[in-house]
Amino acid sequence: MGLITEKDNKYVANTYKRFPVEIVSGSGALFYGADGKEYIDMGSGIGVNCFGAADKEWAAAVAKQAATLQHTSNLYYTSPCAELAELLCERTGMKKVFFCNSGAEANECAIKTARKYAQDKKGEEYYTVITLVNSFHGRTVTTLAATGQDHFHTLFTPLTEGFVYVAANDIEAVKKAIDENNTAAVMFECVQGEGGVMPLERDYLRALAAYAAEKDVLLIADEVQTGNGRTGELYAYMNYGIVPDIVSTAKGLGGGLPIGACMFGEKTEGVLTYGQHGSTFGGNPVCCAGALSVLKRMDQKLLASVKEKGSRIFAALEGAKGVEAVSGMGLMIGITTTRPAADVVRECMENGVLCLTAKTKVRLLPPLNIPDELLDKAIEIIKCACAKEV
Ligand SMILES: *Cc1c(COP(=O)(O)O)cnc(C)c1O
């Protein structure tokens, strides 16, 4: 056992089951272990390092801001925060942005906003937020309640009230739930990430968007995992031709720094007013500088290459031995394997490729700019691990 492992096990709270790998540095899609071993990173720190590890342009932007001004609090105006909000609005058509530090916080803000909107417009009993079975929305007491998986609802009760769960892709079920509850909003991931990399069906999401608009029920797109280029569009809802009222995001937004954002559309831009929400670190200049640096690079060319690289993975894995199905969108991919996913992931790790799991699947979230040679090398190792008879 290495020294890092020993110390971590002794002093860091026991909430993570880590792989026996100590990572000390990285470069692009490669991570380097304390023992000198090289790994191809097919997880990007769970979809965070969108341009890989220690990307030069990103690191320079972050270092420059850190050496200029690292924090002021939200009592004052700072440029990176304003610039980033402008860029997000320009690229999405949303109207205003609230900055926070994580995905769960972005969703908290979305839920607060939806409740306030419905309360203002319809009355204070209109607080129900409908979410989908197998969704994942975060680890706070409210976002655990929003998460549509029963096993997240134990241990920390009572959770926040006012959530109702319906099966994904069942339009009648969601319409019924909207009608039978005092519904403020429907919250969904366009591609369920933790729940098994399952994209929502196009017709379903479009029909849901139309019905929600008719009933003045808000649509909240949880783009924490799917956002920031991951699916080959800047935000995954753009693949569906819908316009959410609220978009939450985090993970890839800062390129490796903790930043979340809750974006508001026309209906919701004015809902939260002075004193109703806040965050000490929200809009932190260094995190915003990191986010600006990555967002500026997510142009059409980059997004098209994300789609191409995704297709490359699909083509290589579909029908391969030991691969039962491949799901996902862009560079957000789930593999149903004949062998247990955890065994495949362990074997890949031993062979120098780091992958994730999602429920019973192997999940891939590589850096968006992973070079094709490294991608092909990783795919070969994953294929071998899937094919192995044990
Ligand atoms: C990871 C994730 C979250 C939670 O984000 P944190 O930054 O860990 O709080 C919320 N929603 C989705 C869809 C996620 O993938």
Q: Band of the pLDDT at 122, cuts 50, 70, 90?
A: very high
- Atom from ligand 1 closest to the CA of residue 104: 9
Domain identity same for 131 and 244: yes
Q: From ligand 1's centre to the CA of 102, what distance in Å?
A: 7
Instruction: Pick the last residue of a domain from 267, 296, 325.
Output: 296
Domain identity same for 196 and 321: no
Phi-psi region of 196 (alpha: psi -120 to 50; beta: other; left: phi over 0): left
For the stretch 174-203, pLDDT in tens is 999 999 999 999 999 999 999 999 999 999
Closest CA to 382 of 69, 87, 75, 42: 42
Closest CA to 125 of 183, 186, 164, 185: 183
pLDDT for res 277: 98
Domain identity same for 155 and 202: yes
> Encoding tokens for residue 206?
């479009």
Instruction: Pick the last residue of a domain from 257, 276, 296.
Output: 296
Q: Is the CB of 254 under 6 A from ligand 1?
A: no
pTM, 2 dp: 0.98
pLDDT for res 23: 98
Q: Is the CB of 193 under 6 A from ligand 1?
A: yes
Domain that holds residue 180: 69-296
- Mean pLDDT for 241-265 is 98
Instruction: Pick the last residue of a domain from 241, 261, 296.
Output: 296
Q: Which residues of 378-387 are buried (b: 16+ CB within 10 A; e: fewer)?
A: bbebbbbbbe
Tell me which residue has its CA closest to atom 5 in ligand 1: 103
Mutate to test the pocket of ligand 1, among 136, 144, 231 (most ligand atoms within 8 A of CB): 136
pLDDT for res 387: 98
Tell me what the pLDDT averaged over the chain comes to. Answer: 98
Domain identity same for 134 and 225: yes
- Mean pLDDT for 4-23 is 97
The DSSP symbol for 153 reads G
pLDDT for res 378: 98
CATH number of 42's domain: 3.90.1150.10
Contact 353, 381 (CB under 8 A): yes
In a domain, 248, yes or no: yes
Q: Band of the pLDDT at 1, cuts 50, 70, 90?
A: confident
Q: Is the CB of 108 under 6 A from ligand 1?
A: no
Mutate to test the pocket of ligand 1, among 129, 137, 359 (most ligand atoms within 8 A of CB): 137
Domain identity same for 286 and 304: no
Tell me which residue has its CA closest to atom 6 in ligand 1: 103
Domain identity same for 25 and 159: no
In a domain, 63, yes or no: no
For the stretch 25-54, pLDDT in tens is 999 999 999 999 999 999 999 999 999 999
In a domain, 59, yes or no: no
pLDDT for res 390: 81
Mutate to test the pocket of ligand 1, among 46, 107, 225, 231 (most ligand atoms within 8 A of CB): 225
For the stretch 41-100, pLDDT in tens is 999 999 999 999 999 999 999 999 999 999 999 999 999 999 999 999 999 999 999 999
Tell me which residue has its CA closest to atom 15 in ligand 1: 225
pLDDT for res 312: 98
In a domain, 62, yes or no: no
For the stretch 195-222, pLDDT in tens is 999 999 999 999 999 999 999 999 999 9
Percent of the chain with pLDDT over 90: 99
pLDDT for res 363: 98
